[in-house]
Amino acid sequence: MPEPIIFELSAPGRRAGGHAPASPPAADFPAQYLRHDEPLLPEVSELQVVRHFTRLSQLNYSIDTHFYPLGSCTMKYNPRVCNRLAMLPEFIERHPLAATEHGQGFLECMYELQDMLKAVTGMTAISLTPMAGAQGEFAGVAMIRAYHDARGESDRREIIVPDASHGTNPATATMCGCTAVEIPTGPDGDVDLDALRRVVGPATAGIMLTNPSTLGVFERQITEIADIVHKAGGLLYYDGANLNAILGRALPADMGFDVIHLNLHKTFSTPHGGGGPGSGVVGVNERLAPFLPVPIVGRDGEQYVWLTEADRPQSIGRLSAFMGNAGILLRAYVYMRLLGADGMRRVSEFATLNANYLMKRLQMAGFEVTFAERRASHEFIVSLQSITKETGISAMDFAKALLDRGFHAPTTYFPLLVPECLLIEPTETETRQELDAFVAALVEIRDLAYKSPDTIQAAPISMPVRRLDDVRAVRQLDVVWQPDNDPTE
């Protein structure tokens, strides 16, 4: 590595005095809880810290530095103004336990965010508390479970997932004590309706769907699917991962969905990657509203108030200590206020235009596009299977070679249904020049795959590290650094 880890920069006694705590340590701690050893921390100067983390940030691929067409992740630009406004001192210095009358401005923003999210999804109630997409999914399926339990139908424990679904969907079903039942996709990319009819029944709790699907196409039979599942007594769960394609154009509620989660860090442009933090807001229709996680922001006359367990006794409970990732919610709020309804429609228009432009350009350049007869949503799949057969150069080799050419790799080997695939999502924030340059890079890599495959197999050559041994990394997992003379051992 070109940069040592911070402990390797450490020297005994070195410190950054300007950041030492001003107040003396608490004196009234019970003796049995006091530690006897110094904590194992690096001893470094302020300048060393600044340089170390600045250098690390420069080694990274990021939206701020590179095109990042990571399919299914919606890696769009995060406007600076959202950060700036969310960091106003009135927001960041507000104590989460401050009396509500001292935080009316913050609560008003959250209340309006709930309303705007209702408008763009068609759902009747929103809870902002889930801390990430996975927690949003958990909340959604927990509500479906609570709904069936409340109706005395606790035998409904099967969650149907299409084979193209996000891996998180069956995982969520399992986490919530349900069983995932997989159904296949038809040859045109839509759900196999006959297979769906065969699996629904008195054990059906619901179905989890992404629309547009992970295959990059709009599920055209969505109303039939809703009909089949509802008639069987199940509910429809909308995984909001791909909302960017339909924002302002189609409402999940109109498609028949009962519950949705939204990744604000995707569609609503809050930071993600490297741990986010994320936000997995959930929305529901009338029948699931009583089960929403708390707190929710309500209104009592002129005042904004917290609605808690006392107001909503059937709630599935709390998912975060206070109000989810409040700073992230504020960023999404600013983003939506800046764009307005018209702007949000333009988001989906340009996201789909960019995806379709890129798909056509790659097709014209001779790449094999999956579901080529269908229009792309906000993302699409290129299969490199024939190139791999002829040259031995795999999708992973293409991904590595793209890094050398200034592009983050698209998603590789997902969805699993398509061999040697790249899942490409340009988002609305890229220019045509950038998309053209990306096509040129893929064409160049393909040419080299035939002419001099060794150069592609050697990629990346310009990154801080070359090919990593990902097999050894999993087999001999070692993620905790310890000094040679670890005093805690």
Residues 340-399 that bind another protein (CB under 8 A): 385
Please give the size of the binding site for another protein, defined by CB under 8 A.
Answer: 9
CB of 170 to another protein, least distance (A): 11
Task: Tell whether residue 471 is a contact of another protein (CB under 8 A).
Answer: yes
User: 305: which strand partners?
Assistant: 298
- Among the residue ranges 82-90, 238-246, 336-344, 411-419, the one whose residues contact another protein (CB under 8 A): 411-419
Write out the E strands in 190-275: 204-209, 235-239, 259-261
**Which parts of 185-250 fold into alpha helices (H)?**
193-199, 222-231
Instruction: Specify the DSSP element, H or E, that contains 380.
Output: strand 380-383
Compute the distance between CA of residue 138 and CA of residue 469 in angstroms, rounded to an integer.
33
Give every CB contact of residue 458 below 8 A, 6+ residues apart in sequence.
none
Compute the distance between CA of residue 335 and CA of residue 84 in angstroms, rounded to an integer.
11
Comparing CA positions, the residue from 135, 82, 171 lying closest to residue 279 is 135
- Among the residue ranges 147-155, 214-222, 402-410, 470-478, the one whose residues contact another protein (CB under 8 A): 470-478
- Among the residue ranges 100-108, 210-218, 352-360, 466-474, the one whose residues contact another protein (CB under 8 A): 466-474
Cis? peptide before 295, omega within 30° of 0: yes
* Cβ closest to another protein, residue 356 vs residue 383: 383
* Cβ closest to another protein, residue 68 vs residue 414: 414
CB of 419 to another protein, least distance (A): 7
CB of 171 to another protein, least distance (A): 10
- Among the residue ranges 1-9, 136-144, 279-287, 471-479, the one whose residues contact another protein (CB under 8 A): 471-479
* Cβ closest to another protein, residue 49 vs residue 396: 396
CB of 234 to another protein, least distance (A): 22
Q: Which pair of tokens denotes residue 273? A: 């990657």
- The residue from 40, 87, 338, 416 that contacts another protein (CB under 8 A) is 416
Comparing CA positions, the residue from 297, 257, 243 lying closest to residue 133 is 243
Task: Tell whether residue 478 is a contact of another protein (CB under 8 A).
Answer: no
CB of 69 to another protein, least distance (A): 19
User: How does strand 296-300 pair with strand 282-284?
Assistant: unpaired
Comparing CA positions, the residue from 244, 250, 252, 296 lying closest to residue 272 is 244
Residues 201-260 that bind another protein (CB under 8 A): none
Cis? peptide before 464, omega within 30° of 0: no
Compute the distance between CA of residue 404 and CA of residue 150 in angstroms, rounded to an integer.
56
* Cβ closest to another protein, residue 465 vs residue 471: 471
SS3 462: coil
- Residue 254 amino acid letter: D
- The residue from 475, 478, 479, 487 that contacts another protein (CB under 8 A) is 475
Torsion of CA 215, 216, 221, 223, to 10 degrees: 120
CB of 471 to another protein, least distance (A): 5
* Cβ closest to another protein, residue 65 vs residue 386: 386
Task: Tell whether residue 483 is a contact of another protein (CB under 8 A).
Answer: no
CB of 237 to another protein, least distance (A): 22
Q: Which residue has the tokens 């507000």?
A: 94
Task: Tell whether residue 413 is a contact of another protein (CB under 8 A).
Answer: yes
**At CA 414, angle to CA 408 and CA 417, rounded to 5?**
150
User: How does strand 204-209 pair with strand 235-239?
Assistant: parallel
Task: Tell whether residue 468 is a contact of another protein (CB under 8 A).
Answer: no
C-beta neighbour count of 261 within 10 angstroms: 29
CB of 396 to another protein, least distance (A): 9
- Among the residue ranges 265-273, 306-314, 316-324, 412-420, the one whose residues contact another protein (CB under 8 A): 412-420
* Cβ closest to another protein, residue 96 vs residue 419: 419
Contact 107, 100 (CB under 8 A): yes
Compute the distance between CA of residue 348 and CA of residue 120 in angstroms, rounded to an integer.
12
* Cβ closest to another protein, residue 27 vs residue 477: 477
CB of 474 to another protein, least distance (A): 4
- The residue from 474, 484, 485, 487 that contacts another protein (CB under 8 A) is 474
Compute the distance between CA of residue 342 and CA of residue 198 in angstroms, rounded to an integer.
42
- Among the residue ranges 8-16, 126-134, 319-327, 409-417, the one whose residues contact another protein (CB under 8 A): 409-417
* Cβ closest to another protein, residue 209 vs residue 421: 421
CB of 425 to another protein, least distance (A): 20
SS3 237: strand
- Name the residues that contact another protein, by CB under 8 A: 385, 413-414, 416, 419, 470-471, 474-475
